[in-house]
Structure 1
């Protein structure tokens, strides 16, 4: 029996266990950096597999599997652990039992999948050389991101990975498929907090006021020109504001208006230039209308970059394991991921795992109260990640 057959046999054998693991995690979600019970559950599973581990990044875990053949290469595989502040509306046996908290981004799938991959690799230690690092990472959903904490705590050292792999569920791809993109794949993400100061008063006497609502309206239009007129049209760029608060009334002009938004792009040099432009336009526009503007930009995750050599090898190996028509080339995605922090340091491949029912066009969207998956994806991916890992241990990072 060759290695692919061995892996597929083991993936099928543990499929039901991995489904139950995923359902337990789904029913017991925890918010970012509060994954205490999640961490305890994962540790018990690792202990049962006799896989050594240590804590990192607070609730995070770094586990090690060593092959019994000769080899010095190191492959890291990462999963995130945290859930979102969403009230689940699904009617399933594994619906969230934590009010207002839900695994609506698939991190339960990522964790269960990595446990399945670890189970397979542990039984195949005699078939490979080198070292596998399993990174169970907290706090992907909020800044500063758990990746930065794991890196701070040495998760990428002693030994340093030659390659790091990660995945994200995709409701836009059918179960049984994966999506890969070489090069820049996911956008950087920055948080914008703006306060426009004016002088409030009676709405019937606008001549006596400095209206921050009107300043804000003008400001929003002018800031969009950063995307339409200052960004290179070939560089994906998004500037969006999702929250505006004035706290005036039909007859009250407020003293200030606050805005919250996000800036995203695929070019780190342009990102820095755009930050300066946002601040300049905001402050000068407000001043020109008699007001004042305070702006804070919280720099978030960098661009997620898939090393072309690693992405090429990953795609070729995935085609061997799945068949060629199951491995899709996908477009850049303007969402952001703190896996990007690893990708800036280690040759990486971060791919999409299809989780939609093939009989339907897509699954419910990420970050929604009815998000769920076709669990057949769990069998595919536990085996695929094991297959990728064993083969990449013996290949160049490119």
Structure 2
């Protein structure tokens, strides 16, 4: 099938299917489920996939699903991935399909990811007699919660039986206008490690600090001094971020506490530096605490690795996206210090993770990811499903 004819056909299908998958997205948005708890979502998706007539639907990583669409004959394979879990956030939107599950919200667009991949499946089913090969559709659980559903998928025999095939994923971006998509080859998203620190001293009366060991002061020195990990120990060529977002010193205006509890995160895009940095950070923190008469108990929780977009696959998909949308609607993305468990697939084989624009300032749709007012311009689903179908066929 010629590219122009195929593009026209997919665009017509995605346009005609849009109302259906807006409804799908709204259903998913109204009934979000947390990581590793996506039971009802999984049942809904299985029923939907079977209704589309896909060749097989298999359970993977407990609540996840792996569906297969077989073309007219044997040929190459490609995997398309969507995550499906929600966040522990209380939604503040007031539209009629706002979350019905108190304290749980699709604030990262996974409802849009799922709806787009389902639309893609319906499009591919319409075209299955016109291509050779297989398209694997992965609906992955628990992207938002460490250790990440991708680790469970990688361990599952159902997934392992696929062998080495290209992986493609997309993610909504509210800072990218609807109608546009973004690609970046090479290192794209950061690793993520969590830091849990307890600084211990000796509490006492705030008016008599000479007989106490002030853990608040020690913690203050640690938080400031630790930034040299990024500013002086890291290479300027290696993106790195160290942030402390939680500090609990449970004293009072006239009470020095016995200890201070701190949580933070370290992110970078180099796995060797990542390991070295955490060792340096531990040495620095304990050294400061010891020099000031206190102690520091430090725990790291190693999260996702950094995400690498394949240097051959990504430019090819960038080119195909330009064919489908027009070059003016495909932008080059900057590196992003957020983390994503799609990174595990990218560390395992040729992968491409690209961004789908969903923002629309004129409609007031501009809230960031992981906020209680996050929303998308649902017109983006037309591109979300159609483009993914075209990119999949470009690999077959």
Q: When the two structures are superposed, what TM-score results if normalisation uses the length of structure 1?
A: 0.96
Equivalent residue for 1:98?
101
Residue 231, structure 1, aligned to residue 211, structure 2: no
The 5-angstrom pairing of residues 113-128 of structure 1 reads 113-128=116-131
Q: Is the 8 A contact 1:238 1:265 kept in 2?
A: yes
Deviations 1:195-241 (A, max 9, x none): 10111111111111111111000111110111111111121110000
Q: Is the 8 A contact 2:58 2:158 kept in 1?
A: no
> 2: CA distance between counterparts of 1:329 and 1:156?
31
5+ unaligned residues in a row in structure 2: which ranges?
none
The Cα of 1:290 is off from its aligned counterpart by: 0.7
The Cα of 1:243 is off from its aligned counterpart by: 0.2
The Cα of 1:156 is off from its aligned counterpart by: 3.7
Equivalent residue for 2:63?
59
Deviations 1:62-84 (A, max 9, x none): 1111111341x110011111111
Of 312, 319, 331, the match for 2:322? 319
Deviations 1:26-83 (A, max 9, x none): 0101111111111111111011012211111111111111111341x11001111111
> 1: CA distance between counterparts of 2:72 and 2:366?
41
Equivalent residue for 1:350?
353
Q: Secondary structure at the match of 2:322?
A: helix
Of 258, 262, 267, the match for 1:259? 262
The Cα of 1:359 is off from its aligned counterpart by: 3.6
Equivalent residue for 1:396?
none
Residue 248, structure 1, aligned to residue 285, structure 2: no
The 5-angstrom pairing of residues 71-220 of structure 1 reads 71=75, 73-220=76-223
> 2: CA distance between counterparts of 1:285 and 1:207?
18
Q: Is the 8 A contact 1:76 1:161 kept in 2?
A: no
The Cα of 1:246 is off from its aligned counterpart by: 1.2
Q: Is the 8 A contact 1:74 1:130 kept in 2?
A: yes
> 1: CA distance between counterparts of 2:164 and 2:117?
17
Q: Which runs of 4+ in 1 moved over 2 A?
A: 154-157, 358-362
Q: Is the 8 A contact 1:15 1:379 kept in 2?
A: yes
> 1: CA distance between counterparts of 2:109 and 2:382?
15
Equivalent residue for 1:31?
34
- Rate the CA distance shift 1:163–1:333 in 2: closer, same or farther, 3 A: same
Between 362-371 and 41-50, the greater mean CA deviation after superposition = 362-371
- Rate the CA distance shift 1:177–1:358 in 2: closer, same or farther, 3 A: farther
> 2: CA distance between counterparts of 1:316 and 1:358?
28
The Cα of 1:85 is off from its aligned counterpart by: 1.0
Residue 388, structure 1, aligned to residue 391, structure 2: yes
The 5-angstrom pairing of residues 251-330 of structure 1 reads 251-330=254-333
The Cα of 1:161 is off from its aligned counterpart by: 4.2
Deviations 1:270-315 (A, max 9, x none): 1011010111001111011111101111100000000011110000
> 2: CA distance between counterparts of 1:46 and 1:350?
23
Q: Is the 8 A contact 2:187 2:269 kept in 1?
A: yes
Residue 50, structure 1, aligned to residue 53, structure 2: yes
5+ unaligned residues in a row in structure 1: which ranges?
394-398
Equivalent residue for 2:24?
21
> 2: CA distance between counterparts of 1:274 and 1:70?
47
- Rate the CA distance shift 1:279–1:155 in 2: closer, same or farther, 3 A: farther
Two-structure CA RMSD over aligned residues (Å): 1.3
Q: Secondary structure at the match of 2:227?
A: helix
Of 333, 337, 347, the match for 2:340? 337
Q: Secondary structure at the match of 1:65?
A: strand
> 2: CA distance between counterparts of 1:300 and 1:235?
18
